[in-house]
Structure 1
Amino acid sequence: MGTKQIGVVFYSKTGATRLLAQHISEGIQSVGANAQIFEIESQSIIAGRYQNTPLFEQLTKCDALIFGCPTYMGSPAAQFKAFMDASSDCYVQKAWQNKLAAGFTSGGSQNGEQQQTLLAMFALACQHGMLWAGLDVSQFSDDLGLNRTGSSLGLVASPEPGDPQLVATNDLQTAFYFGQRIAKLAG
């Protein structure tokens, strides 16, 4: 079947979500799969609608998709939501049906309702008939010490305590593991 193609599609404003996407991609590649990074660009949103047909064509060729964006006011960033809405053509064509899906988000605090963002991504995956994979580790239940937030639905990241400009080291390590997990599940 060849090398699995894992698409990591995300929006990042400050760079934190981009950093997570990079660590996820490194995890994917560490187990022999191919990571393809796709960043949602604000300039591709015209009159409120995300428009990038070539991106959707590339995503359709992937074996798995990992969605990512920051959490703003308890929900996905508007730029990522525009991407979600624009995926409706793929929905009609069942282009993502039976693909593996997962999600990650970042926020300015440890609990800024980031789970709501992951739930929106989960609902998107379900709408498309995708198979959702969550995070299977917790610093409280295994010896890896990963996933300090305890989120099972997907990866949640926040700043390093005392330094609001940095993503917590544990979250970056968890992102690498998350990439490995999704690549292994994709087969």
Structure 2
Amino acid sequence: MADEILNLISDLPAAGLHAFFFFAALLENIFPPWPGDTFIVFAGFLSAHGAVSLPAALLSTGTGSLAGAWIMYLAGEKVLHLARSLHARLKPGIMQRMLSDFVSEEHMQRTQQWFLKWGAWFVVVSRFSAGIRFFVSIVAGLSKMNPLLFTVCFSLGVLIWNTLLLTGGRLLAENWRKMLEWLQLYNVAVGSLIVLVVAFFIMRWWRRRSA
């Protein structure tokens, strides 16, 4: 799919390319399977040939990423209400017990306290993993993280990550797809680590519930 899209946009003028990069970066934050990082690396490659400028590519991809993150931040504010509505309709069982922990005031207070202490760093680092960047914006909105702080932290993460991708695509030029191979290995490693961490916390939660 990505290759077909790249073929379609290759002949666009600079303004059209930047519009595409904006919406591609936005969509990645809403729909994680979308290959947003691929298009950012491609933008770096195009900058090596003068089709776009590197600063403009950083601006279009960065603002797109931030816009997508804000959509999910606002959606996060609605998640708790939906979860509580679902909890009220469920019959007693495992799913209801899991939601009971999630929607409880005690859980929300712990989440807000944790985000107050570590949330800023978590938002910055989240940009470096396709596996968690989607969820972090939701959790930030759910925990009512300061909107200005969220914007600053997410923008910092985007600035660092997108600069790395754009620069990599630019420096590798015709070999820009090597960057995608490295990204794939990186995402597999980070994704595996995330799965292990999540499994650990689920097991710990289950043991506490069973005790």
TM-score (norm 2): 0.29
Could you say which structure has the larger radius of gyration? 2
Bigger proportion of residues as helix: 2
TM-score (norm 1): 0.31
Bigger proportion of residues as strand: 1
